[in-house]
Structure 1
Amino acid sequence: MAERKVTVLARFKAKEGMEEQLKQAIMACVAPTRAEAGCINYDLHQLADDKGKLVLYENWRSKKDLEVHLEMPYLKELKAKAGELCSEPIEITLWEMVSKPV
């Protein structure tokens, strides 16, 4: 049986005054992540009325591909910076699609 696709929501909340630095730190991961073999999409969103709240919406071919991604050096660097840039821990949740895609 083929592995199921996995969707990830990663939520970030910047410390006051660190909004742009956090956004740029995450943006530095976008291009290399999109180039990874198992990445379907990797999109950064910012809350319209609160620039300190950001969400990565990611889709991966499989959980194994996601696990490979989590070991990439640029992602480890982002996690290391999170303590100085974020006011709370990064919230990462995994999702599976239950409706049929259109």
Structure 2
Amino acid sequence: MSEQALTVLARVRARAEKLRQVEETLTGLIGPTRREPGCISYALHQSNDDPCVFVFVEIWRSQADLDEHLQKPHLQAFVAAAGDLLAEPLDVTLWHEVQP
């Protein structure tokens, strides 16, 4: 049996005074991440109700591919800077698709 694809929801709340910097940083993650092996989908969304809230909706081929992603320099640089940019800690949850 093959490993099931993994969906990640990563919620980010920017500090209001850092909003533009956070948006630029997050959009800068998209290109490199989409080129990673195992990345099926990687999309950034911004809340209609609160422009400081973003969520990445990610789909990875496997847990191993996600684990590799988490070690990439572009992501590590964001994680290292997050404390100064974000109003609250990253909220990352893992999901799997339910099919009939």
TM-score with structure 1 length normalisation? 0.94
Query: Which residue of 2 is the match for residue 95 of structure 1?
Result: 95
1:19-71 CA-partner distances (Å, limit 9, x unpaired): 11111111111000000110001000000121100000000000110000000
Identity across matched positions, percent: 43
Whether 1:5 and 2:5 are equivalent positions in the alignment is yes
Whether 1:68 and 2:76 are equivalent positions in the alignment is no
Query: Which residue of 1 is the match for residue 47 of structure 2?
Result: 47
Which structure 1 residue ranges, 4+ long, deviate > 2 Å from structure 2? none
Q: How many residues align?
A: 100
Query: Which residue of 1 is the match for residue 29 of structure 2?
Result: 29
Give SS of 2:77's match: helix
TM-score with structure 2 length normalisation? 0.96
**What CA RMSD, in Å, does the superposition of the two structures yield over aligned residues?**
0.9
